[in-house]
Amino acid sequence: MEKFKYAVYAIVERTEQIGSRMQIFDIVIISLIISNSIAVVAEPSIRDADILYWLRIFEIFSVAVFTVEYLLRVWVADLQYNHMPKWKARMHYVVSPIALIDVLAVLPFYIPFLVVVDLRVLRLFRIFRLLRILKMNRYTTALVNVVKVLKNKAEQLVSSFFVIIVLMIIASVLMFDIENNAQPDKFVSVFDAMWWSVSTLTTVGYGDIYPITAFGKVMAAIIAILGVGIVSIPTGIIASGFIEQIQQKKASTRKCPHCGRDIDD
């Protein structure tokens, strides 16, 4: 039984012992995740009863696979956290973010069987099915790298967003004071001006609200130019984070003298 458990652990938790069974498991799960995401997006526009029936069958099959996958991960959690008692290791896994995503991904299917739910609320819960795409985080290093970069650069990102929000508020108040008398139907309140400042700072410029006074146009030009630089700050921070991540990976990777493959330290 222990041998079987270790085999399951090697498959579901992507250990270093890469084998064909693990690759097949990954391909099946990734295919299901992508197919479910497509089904969730397409389902509201489908009117054919036969197609909806097969989509329902596919939903039941997918939930069954995802549920078994989740239970297997809980079962082998004591091997992943082998420094903890078995019950504590499993509880530690159950409350982890990735495990909670797994639960939320299948929860909409089980809710009607557990409690009586209004259909409108049930439709809202079914949106959680889209969370299944977040399960891809396990099977691709790209998403893992994104999360690491956001964690490493969290302080700088928060600071840059704070600067953007302050500038947006200042621009909104100034533009409201300048344009309110000239366009009382457009700049009704500071919140209307805030909508204008968001579209201007992000360089989207929908054109539904814009200044018509000379002073307002000058102010809008200054804010638009500032927006190009300030809104690009988070992009630069994230880009530098990715560069640092790549450099760290290269520094911690060495070549096997026999086969030439990368060996992570």
Domains in the chain: ranges and CATH: 2-139 (1.20.120.350), 141-265 (1.10.287.70)
pLDDT of residue 256: 54
> For residue 264, what are the β-bridge partners?
253
Band the pLDDT of 127: cuts 50, 70, 90.
low
The region that residue 205 occupies, defined by phi over 0 for left and psi between -120 and 50 for alpha, beta otherwise, is left
Separation CA 16–CA 36 (nearest Å):
28
Regarding pTM above 0.75, the answer is no
If you search the block for the tokens 């504590």, which residue do you land on?
88
- If you average pLDDT over every residue of the chain, what do you get? 78
Q: What is the mean pLDDT of residues 218-241?
A: 82
Residue 258 has pLDDT above 70, yes or no: no
Separation CA 19–CA 24 (nearest Å):
9
> For residue 28, what are the β-bridge partners?
none
pLDDT of residue 265: 47
Q: What is the mean pLDDT of residues 47-55?
A: 87
How far is CA 256 from each of CA 18, 261, 263, rounded to the nearest angstrom?
A: 17, 5, 6
